Amino acid sequence: MKTIPIHPSHPSVPAPVDTQGSAYGRAAATSEALITGVGPGTPCGEYLRRYWQPVGVSSEVSTRPARVRILGEDLVLFRDKKGRAGLLYERCMHRGTSLFFGKVEEEGVRCCYHGWLFSVEGHCLNQPCEPEGGKSRVNARQPWYPVEERYGIVFAYMGPPDRRPVLPRYDVLEELNEGEFIEVDGTGYGGYAAPVADPHVPFHWLQNWENIVDPYHVQVLHSTFSGVQFAEGFKVMPKVEFEQVENGVIYRAYRRLDDGREMTRINAAMLPNISAIPSLDLEPTRGRMIGWHLAVDDTTMRVFFAAARTEPGRFAGVRMHNGKLWTEATPQERQDFPGDFEAQASQGRVNLHSDEHLATSDRGIGLLRRMMRQQIQKVADGGDPAGVAFNEEDALVRVRSGNFHLAPVEASA
């Protein structure tokens, strides 16, 4: 009889005897409800509804209705044969059949079941099964939201009608030079990930938007951990300065690159869910891309981008170290070389904020959340949130974003 070691290649290591820090007995983790709920009537949902939200790419909105889910509401988006985009409550007010199965005509969309016809403003224009085409149809109204199109995107206003602001303009997209145009994408996930068939991303929108004011993860995740996903220059840990501005938070990240150049990268997160991310190649230029990080519902998001370009195809996705697009990576490759999707999706469908330990490098996130709480409270108190404008003159946004040769900032790290 003898006692033998089981795995000689893994010599027995004495178990730790530390009794501190055990995972036993930790409190159940929770999300911060105030800033995460997006549905109708929730504090944050009401705040988000005070801004225009992107709902579709103009060139894709057609006479074939599309289902869209926005802020937890199920709607259908279509373009009538006069060219007007319409956004209606999905369920037909008559008997509840989806207008996704409706047929678009000159004046609106007709429900497949009993043929009620609705205009883009929800007016009922015909009820073919009713006497005289519906004697009281003028009193019928399919729930609807107003839309406007700009930069190749259809925007909707889903808030109280009497608080409707002017649809904003962004200076970097308004001022186009000869040969420039605006390229739009509604299917991708950000710089790292290629467009996918289903644009819905399975986690809370904040996890993606907070990433905008997080310059440090660029050095770790995108540059040293998983290979160079963007540009060699990001391998340098930056010195960072955060600033709260009137409509959001910006950072200035200073780097002395290996080739001797000095570079300050300015990135902006604008209320309520907008980004201005400069070029990922670190070339010195003003950032001319605007992103909208849309809450599909409490646990799902999608991203719309519009960028000034001189050549198309820039939303095709960035390739991994091994030449593959993210959409081509195996599960094993995603584990070994994670990117934004893996980092953010694995925070859960909704991050558990009580588990977090924010540090000095997370100051941008802290500032953003504080602003959100303030604006949510302001809306709950009957006010209008920061960044909304009620006339065209005030609706032009000056975008602070770009890679610049600037003096170094004095800041952390």
Site for its own copies in 68-87 (CB under 8 A): 73, 75, 79, 82-85
Nearer Cβ to its own copies (29/316) = 29
DSSP string for 373-405: HHHHHHHHTT-PPTT--SSGGGGEEPP--EEE-
Give the Å distances, CA to CA, from 152 to 54, 55, 235. Answer: 10, 11, 35
Site residues (CB under 8 A) for its own copies, limited to 203-242: 216-217, 219-221, 224-226, 237
Question: Dihedrals φ, ψ of 272, to 5°?
Answer: -95, -20
What is the nearest approach in angstroms of its own copies to the Cβ of residue 32?
12
Nearer Cβ to its own copies (65/278) = 65
Contact status: 21 vs its own copies (CB under 8 A): yes
Site residues (CB under 8 A) for its own copies, limited to 113-132: 113-115, 120-123, 127-131
Q: Which of 140, 236, 257, 389 binds its own copies (CB under 8 A)?
A: 140
Ramachandran area for residue 100 (φ above 0: left; ψ -120 to 50: alpha; else beta): alpha
Contact status: 392 vs its own copies (CB under 8 A): no
Contact status: 12 vs its own copies (CB under 8 A): yes
What is the nearest approach in angstroms of its own copies to the Cβ of residue 343?
4
Nearer Cβ to its own copies (87/194) = 87
Q: Which of 34, 69, 107, 112 binds its own copies (CB under 8 A)?
A: 112
Task: Look at strands 181-185 and 300-309 and give their pairing.
Answer: antiparallel
Give the Å distances, CA to CA, from 179 to 57, 153, 399. Answer: 22, 20, 21
| 366: enclosing H helix or E strand | helix 363-380
Q: Which of 69, 98, 325, 386 binds its own copies (CB under 8 A)?
A: 98
Is-contact 229 220, C-beta < 8 A?
no
Site residues (CB under 8 A) for its own copies, limited to 285-314: none
Nearer Cβ to its own copies (99/246) = 99
Contact status: 391 vs its own copies (CB under 8 A): no
| Half-sphere exposure at residue 66, Cβ-oriented, CA atoms within 13 angstroms | 18
DSSP string for 138-149: GG-B--EE-EEE
What is the nearest approach in angstroms of its own copies to the Cβ of residue 154?
10
Contact status: 398 vs its own copies (CB under 8 A): no
Q: Which of 30, 33, 81, 101 binds its own copies (CB under 8 A)?
A: 101
Contact status: 149 vs its own copies (CB under 8 A): yes
| 335: enclosing H helix or E strand | helix 331-336
Structure tokens, 284: 């010195």
Interacting stretch for its own copies, rule CB under 8 A, among 10-18, 187-195, 274-282, 380-388?
10-18
d(CA 202, CA 212): 18
Q: Which of 69, 141, 235, 286 binds its own copies (CB under 8 A)?
A: 141
d(CA 302, CA 204): 9
Nearer Cβ to its own copies (63/327) = 63
Contact status: 48 vs its own copies (CB under 8 A): no
Contact status: 196 vs its own copies (CB under 8 A): no
Structure tokens, 203: 């986690």
d(CA 195, CA 335): 20
Task: Look at strands 262-270 and 274-276 and give their pairing.
Answer: antiparallel
Angle formed at CA 408 by CA 403 and CA 412, multiple of 5 degrees: 105
Contact status: 270 vs its own copies (CB under 8 A): no
Site residues (CB under 8 A) for its own copies, limited to 325-384: 335-336, 338, 342-344, 346-348, 351-352, 355-362
Q: Which of 72, 89, 386, 395 binds its own copies (CB under 8 A)?
A: 89
d(CA 331, CA 346): 14
Interacting stretch for its own copies, rule CB under 8 A, among 24-32, 264-272, 284-292, 310-318?
24-32
Is-contact 293 275, C-beta < 8 A?
yes
Q: How many residues bind its own copies (CB under 8 A)?
A: 120
Q: Which of 125, 176, 228, 395 binds its own copies (CB under 8 A)?
A: 176
What is the nearest approach in angstroms of its own copies to the Cβ of residue 239?
10
Amino acid at 208: N
Contact status: 259 vs its own copies (CB under 8 A): no
Query: E strands, 186-284, where?
Result: 239-245, 248-256, 262-270, 274-276
Best CA proximity match to 311, nearest among 116, 135, 179: 179
